[in-house]
Every structure is written in C-alpha cells, then in structure tokens.
C-alpha cells in the first residue's frame, strides 16, 4: 500500500532531507524547503551539500518551495522544521492539508513561548489530524551513508501508527512503535540539554568517567521530569531515552554536544551560535525545560547548570565545579 502513498516532508535541513530519502523507498515523496537554491540543487544534482556534504539524494525525492504542492495532495505530512518555526509552518500547512491526514514531527524541541511539545502544537493548530513523533538515536550523515540505525514512531492511535511505521521502516533503518508519545517526545527534547553538559566536560578535557556520569545522572533527570509530565519510566530506558542520549552526548556530529564543547573551550554562546547555520535545539529549548522543571517541582541540577551557562550567568568551568560539589545521597535521589 505504501508504494501508492504520497508523503510531504517539510524542512530541507539535514534530518528532513535524510527522512525524505528514506521515505522515498516506500512512497512518492515531495520535500519542501524555503530556499530556492536548495530546491534547485536537490532536483538537478540530487545533493544538499550545505547540510549533507557528499551524500546522494534519491532521484525519487522531488523538492519544491511551493508549500501547497508539498501538502495538498499528500497522505502523510512530516514536519522537519526547527521548534521555534514549527507553529508558523503548521499555520501555512493548515490552508492546504486534507482532512484527517496524519502529521508526524521530527523536531526535538519545545516552543519557547508556551513550553509546548511539537505534537501538542499539531493538536492545537490542526485538531482532528492524528499527531505523532519519529524520534531516536539518528545521526543524519550516518544514515545517509548507509549505516544501520533504529528509530521509534509514537502515536496514540495504534492502527494509524502501524500504517505510518511502514512509511519510514526500510532496509537498515528499523522503526519500532511506542504508544507513549509524551515519553518519546520528552526524551528527544531533554537529551539535548544533557549533551551540552557532556560537551562542556569534553571541551575542558574531562575523561570518559566524567562523561559516563553526566550521561547517567542526566538520564535520571530526564526520567524524573518525563514521568512527572505523564511519560512512562520504561520509555526512557529505550531508544528515545538512553539510546538518543548516548548518541547525542558522544558523537562529534551532535550539534548540541558541539555547542557544549565550544563552551568548555571558553567561548561565549554568542560566538558559537553566530557561526552556526544549523540549529542546536538544546540552546533554544533550555529556558522552556527549566520552566517545566519548576512547574512540576522536579530537581534537574545538570540542566539548570547548562541553562545558567547559556544565559551567561555562569561558565562551563564553574558549572562543573558546582556539580562536583553537589551534595551526595542515594543514587535514586536527585543530585
């Protein structure tokens, strides 16, 4: 059935382009990007050198900067745009989308002004459209190079979820299902903050032991807040929790870890972000994460240290000294 489906992927960055390349194996695929040069390059050269240097995009992927063409005929819409532009693009989508078409988010962030997850924004802007999230430890360049990877599709409607699973699952890219939308989405958001912390340690020359401690204690923070928000504890031990956290905290390809590394080298967040052309979602989402932690009464010492560094109220060296001086107790306790 999926060979007859039409899928619109919105967002011409590294992950949006990669997902379009994957989906093209199973369905007719249109990729929407605002930049006319990106559209021309994908259609003429089958590359997207700015975001995926050296990668070849399947000829079946048709790029367009006409959002109506990318939405109106489609059976599934996939949103691969940054969190702070997500709502605005959905408002454009709203003009053209057919009734009941599922909308799947690829975005691992929170809307800064509301603290909303992307599926919450989908439900608010497009009520009646099944909302879901595709998330997991997925580094775009590795997937485009043909390395094996696993991801998770999470939706509340189990029947639609299993059909959407077939759209994404292909070859060495394995896609599992999970009904815990909140847990899957929260894990993808919060791991970015912990990755900045891990990068700060790496930038200061901290060892493997330190990084392992940051990852493990970071997972405890993610789980506490995720469960408080309505997620299921076991979700955070899976691909969208521990799996995504490890990949993001350890890979040089991780934008959030790279931001942390630069902070650890003594650079300011303004210097770092000014030279980046791709979004590090952890930088954008940190204030919303801390607001959620305060709202739910959850202690998140690592996330809070990262937030203070990003605000310029602390620096990477001071942040790590603060974490090392923190009171200790049982492993199951915050801190």
Give the residue numbers marked as catalytic: 191
Cβ–Cβ under 8 Å, residues 112 and 193: no
Angle at 197 between CA 193 and CA 199, to 5 degrees: 110
Q: Quick one: residue 100, left, alpha or beta (phi over 0 = left, psi -120 to 50 = alpha)?
A: left
Distance, in Å, from the CA atom of 201 to the CA atom of 265, rounded to the nearest integer, reads: 9
Distance, in Å, from the CA atom of 41 to the CA atom of 49, rounded to the nearest integer, reads: 9
Helix or strand or coil: residue 327?
A: coil
Helix or strand or coil: residue 105?
A: strand
Helix or strand or coil: residue 212?
A: helix
Distance, in Å, from the CA atom of 18 to the CA atom of 22, rounded to the nearest integer, reads: 6
| CA-based nearest residue to 214, from 166, 261, 255 | 261
Q: Quick one: residue 136, left, alpha or beta (phi over 0 = left, psi -120 to 50 = alpha)?
A: left
How far CA 263 is from CA of 24, 205, 222, 268, in Å, comes to: 38, 12, 22, 6
Decide: residue 25, CB within 10 A, 0-12 exposed, 13-18 middle, 19+ buried. middle
Distance, in Å, from the CA atom of 310 to the CA atom of 151, rounded to the nearest integer, reads: 29
Rounded to 10 deg, the angle between the 301-310 and 316-325 helix axes is 160
């Amino acid at each position: 059935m999926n060979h007859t489906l039409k899928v619109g992927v919105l967002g011409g960055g590294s992950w949006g382009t990669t997902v379009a390349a994957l989906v093209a194996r199973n369905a007719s695929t249109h990729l929407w990007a605002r930049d006319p040069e990106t559209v021309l390059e994908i259609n003429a050269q089958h590359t997207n050198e700015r975001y995926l240097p050296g990668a070849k995009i399947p000829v079946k992927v048709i790029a367009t900067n006409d959002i109506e063409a990318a939405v109106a005929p489609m059976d599934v819409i996939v949103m691969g745009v940054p969190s702070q532009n997500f709502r605005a693009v959905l408002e454009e989508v709203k003009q053209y989308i057919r009734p009941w078409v599922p909308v799947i988010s690829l975005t691992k962030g929170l809307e800064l002004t509301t603290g909303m997850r992307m599926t919450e924004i989908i439900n608010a802007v497009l009520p009646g459209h099944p909302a879901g999230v595709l998330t997991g430890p997925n580094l775009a360049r590795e997937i485009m190079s043909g390395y094996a990877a696993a991801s998770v599709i999470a939706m509340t409607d189990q029947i639609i979820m299993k059909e959407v699973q077939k759209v994404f699952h292909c070859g060495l890219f394995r896609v599992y299902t999970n009904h815990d939308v909140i847990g899957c989405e929260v894990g993808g958001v919060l791991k970015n903050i912990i990755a900045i912390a891990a990068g700060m340690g790496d930038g200061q020359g901290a060892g493997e032991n330190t990084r392992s401690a940051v990852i493990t204690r970071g997972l405890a923070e993610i789980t506490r807040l995720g469960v408080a928000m309505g997620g299921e504890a076991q979700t955070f031990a899976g691909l969208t929790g521990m799996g995504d956290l490890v990949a993001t905290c350890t890979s040089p390809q991780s934008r959030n870890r790279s931001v942390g590394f630069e902070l650890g080298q003594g650079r300011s967040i303004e210097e770092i972000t000014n030279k980046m052309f791709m979004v590090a979602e952890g930088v954008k989402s940190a204030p919303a994460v801390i607001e959620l932690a305060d709202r739910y009464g959850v202690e998140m010492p690592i996330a809070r240290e990262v937030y203070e560094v990003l605000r310029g109220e602390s620096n990477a060296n001071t942040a790590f000294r603060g974490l090392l001086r923190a009171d200790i107790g049982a492993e199951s306790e915050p801190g």
